[in-house]
Amino acid sequence: MSAALQTLNMTRILPGPVPVTLIEHANLSIGKGEFVAITGPSGSGKSSLLYLLGLLDRPTEGSVMLEEKETSHLGSGELARLRLAKLGFVFQFHFLLPEFSVLENVMIPMRKLGRLSGDAMKTKAMRLLKSLGMEGEARKRPEQLSGGQRQRAAIARALANDPLVLLADEPTGNLDSKNAHNVFEIFRGLAEDQGQTVVVVTHDPHLSEHTHRQIHIVDGRIVDA
């Protein structure tokens, strides 16, 4: 299995009068098509690890490799471009833009990447929404959706540029258990039917047991992967 994301002896220390070690010597390899959970207690460093994997933060030591390519030498502009083209993000709060329709929200990453015509973007956004059972909501504003629908719209937006890896930080934190399981089933379907690599942070063992593998972290250290 070829690796989508790897870390090599990755450490992240926040500088300051009292430096804070967020992640210590993390060695990980996440294969293409894997559906992986990052689990651990509150404050253990799950979000910190996801941000490093998602190139939203940089290690103090060691490296993050995307498709086996080192990223540590890249400038912030190049990292932003790489995130846009290769990574999709879903957070606990959906961050959909309230003044735009669901369809327009899903098209935003495509517009930023600028590879498709307007018609092709619209067709693709509709196809993504349809695959998530959201075609009836395409013209609505985010405020007109239920919580579960908003997260599905956020997932569609995260998939807009066919990311190598979908990264999600507690994406079900605001959902009831039925909608939470629904989101995990969507992720599993993406991995198993389409070979989508998915990395999801959750502190809920009822949800993480539905993934292929769990990376367990305690006090910034990977204790089981």
Question: What residues make contact with ligand ADP under the rule CB under 6 A?
Answer: 14, 20, 22, 40, 42-48
Task: Give residue for tokens 């937006």.
Answer: 157
> If contact means CB under 5 to 8 A according to the sort of partner, which of Mg ion, ligand ADP, none does residue 48 touch?
ligand ADP
Q: How far is the CB of 155 from Mg ion (least distance, A)?
A: 19
Asked if 196 is part of the footprint of Mg ion (rule: CB under 5 A), the reply reads: no
Helix, strand, coil fractions of the chain, as percent rounded to 5: 40, 25, 35
Of 2 and 42, nearer to ligand ADP (C-beta) is 42
Q: How far is the CB of 187 from Mg ion (least distance, A)?
A: 18
Calpha distance 17→14 (Å, rounded): 10
8 Å CB contact between 33 and 189 = no
Residue 117, classified by CB atoms within 10 Å of its CB into exposed (0-12), middle (13-18) or buried (19+), is exposed
Of 44 and 197, nearer to Mg ion (C-beta) is 44
Number of residues binding to Mg ion, judged by CB under 5 A: 2
Using CB under 5 A as the binding rule, the residues of this chain from 27 to 66 that contact Mg ion are 46-47
Of 20 and 97, nearer to ligand ADP (C-beta) is 20
Write b or e for each residue in 125-162: b if 16 or more Cβ atoms lie within 10 A of its Cβ, otherwise e: bbebbebbebeebbeebbeebeebbbbbbbbbbbbbbe
Of 39 and 161, nearer to Mg ion (C-beta) is 39
Of 122 and 221, nearer to ligand ADP (C-beta) is 221
User: In the beta sheet, which residues pair with residue 37?
Assistant: 200, 214
Name the residue number minimizing CB distance to Mg ion: 47
Instruction: State how far the alpha carbon of 92 is from the alpha carbons of 26, 58, 79, 97, 120, in Å.
Output: 24, 22, 23, 15, 29
> If contact means CB under 5 to 8 A according to the sort of partner, which of ligand ADP, Mg ion, none does residue 39 touch?
none
Q: How far is the CB of 14 from ligand ADP (least distance, A)?
A: 5
> If contact means CB under 5 to 8 A according to the sort of partner, which of Mg ion, ligand ADP, none does residue 54 touch?
none
Task: Give residue for tokens 């509709």.
Answer: 126
Of 40 and 142, nearer to ligand ADP (C-beta) is 40
Residue ranges binding Mg ion (CB under 5 A):
46-47
